[in-house]
Amino acid sequence: MATQPTTKTATKKVAPKKASAKTGEFAKLLDSAAPIKLAPGEVVEANVVTKSKSELWVDIKGLATGYVPSREIGDQRTLAGLEVGDVVHGSVVASENDDGYVILSIRRAMRDRSWKDLEARFDAKEVFDATVIDANTGGLLLEVDGIRGFMPVSQLAPENYPRVSGGDRDLILEKLKQFIGKPINVQILDMDKTENKLILSEKLARTHETVESLSKFSVGDAVKGKITGVVDFGAFVSFDDGLEGLIHISEIDWNRVDDPREHLKVGQEIDAKIVGIEGAKVSLSLKQLKEDPWMKAAAKYKPGQKVTGTVARVTPFGAFVDLSDEIVGLAHVSELSEEHVENPSDVVSVGGKQEFLVLAVDPEAHRIALSIKGLKDPDAAVKRAASASTTKPSTAAKDLSALPEGILAKLSDAGFGDLAKLKAATLEELEALPGIGRVSAKKIKDTTG
């Protein structure tokens, strides 16, 4: 039970005064006045009248006495900073306890006020500082006016993003822990008081500044930059004193790239072309500053032509064949023999030279369709291929060769080399595969049906 606040009583006797008519009327008003009613959750203003080592008693506008237990004060710093006579704000926990006091919570009132301030900041898209208090492999935990928020790794500014080879979780955590105790400039990405959810973003806080700096650039511009990080899906590039872009693995070279680290190193200075600007996101390309070898393919390779190539790769759906001029064609499993082929390795082997028939050429899609079985009757094979290309999507969808060679190679690497497995895969599973983004994943699902 809370100790009741003590008051001093006067000992000097004073002669009673004769009640006036006005005094009598005032007494009637007091007698008829309804008792104070405070609803739980209501925030009231009060003055501190008594303070102990762990508790407070407050006067609520002369109408009631409030009691603030230690657990509802907040912390020792809050209590230490209060003196008798100070004004505090408390949230009503109970309108009356056994001793007749209103139970208040300064901690809850401060929390409610913090959420209101956060809502105002969210609506105003305000940029402010938040202190990092902890980290996990998913991101950073921060505190804003007593409210805990979370910043996913993806919402860190480019220069703070943990570029770790192979996605080593322990190394990611080690890099993120370096921010503990430091303030970070953030903006609220999402919030929900009822769910106690506060999502912060450093990247969003930089957006306006970055967008303004990017206003002088356009898609197609060439920039000079320096590689600041190389990861499985590409490389980060710093340019123009603080701006940063990403060269996706598919934009490193016209030929297939298995590992960006074999082509680019941190600190390497490069020339790149801007191929996309979306808000503060910049997409760069190395290959588009070079001549596309596939543009010459239409002039050099024609349907019905016989070519000799080296088998570079064998997959469940066919063989990739190195031709001259950095061109790679695909001989689909159905084109390797007139007989049914279960395993392409039974017909061709990596490193072996083989004659093929060119069935179709599509430079824009970077595709050359090749055939071994078509060598016996080239004209019929080319007509068959041309007819298949005009078949309704529902029929053509059953043929994986409709996909670009680059996508097929990535699917093979990830163990998704057969049609049944691709049909069973969800869009989200395909998106998660190395080198397969949302656009490619959707193309795969559209093709496989």
Distance (Å, whole) CA 5 – CA 177: 47
Distance (Å, whole) CA 449 – CA 437: 18
Q: How far from the centroid of its chain's Cα atoms is residue 244's Cα?
A: 17
Contact 223, 271 (CB under 8 A): yes
- Per-residue confidence (pLDDT) for residue 13, from 0 to 100: 42
Structural domains in the chain, sorted by start: 39-110 (2.40.50.140), 125-207 (2.40.50.140), 216-289 (2.40.50.140), 293-448 (2.40.50.140)
pTM for the predicted model, two decimal places: 0.50
Find residue 92's DSSP bridge partners.
Answer: 104
- Per-residue confidence (pLDDT) for residue 4, from 0 to 100: 56
Per-run averaged pLDDT (10 residues), the chain, 449 residues: 49 46 51 62 86 85 84 75 85 81 86 89 92 92 91 85 75 91 93 91 84 89 91 88 87 84 92 90 91 82 94 88 84 92 91 94 86 94 83 44 64 65 73 67 73
- Per-residue confidence (pLDDT) for residue 402, from 0 to 100: 60
Task: Tell me the C-alpha to C-alpha distance, in Å, between residue 151 and each of 14, 156, 229, 237.
Answer: 68, 7, 21, 23
Can you read off the two tokens belonging to residue 67?
């009691």
Can you read off the two tokens belonging to residue 38?
């405070």
Q: Tell me which residue has tokens 């208040």.
A: 104
SS3 240: coil
- Per-residue confidence (pLDDT) for residue 241, from 0 to 100: 78
Q: How does 397-431 read in b/e, with b if 16+ C-beta sit within 10 Å?
A: bebbbbbbbbbbbbbbebebbebeebeebeeeebb
- Per-residue confidence (pLDDT) for residue 311, from 0 to 100: 94
- Per-residue confidence (pLDDT) for residue 398, from 0 to 100: 46
CB atoms within 10 A of CB 271: 12
Q: Can you state the percent helix, strand and coil of the chain, rounding each to 5?
A: 35, 30, 35
- Per-residue confidence (pLDDT) for residue 71, from 0 to 100: 81
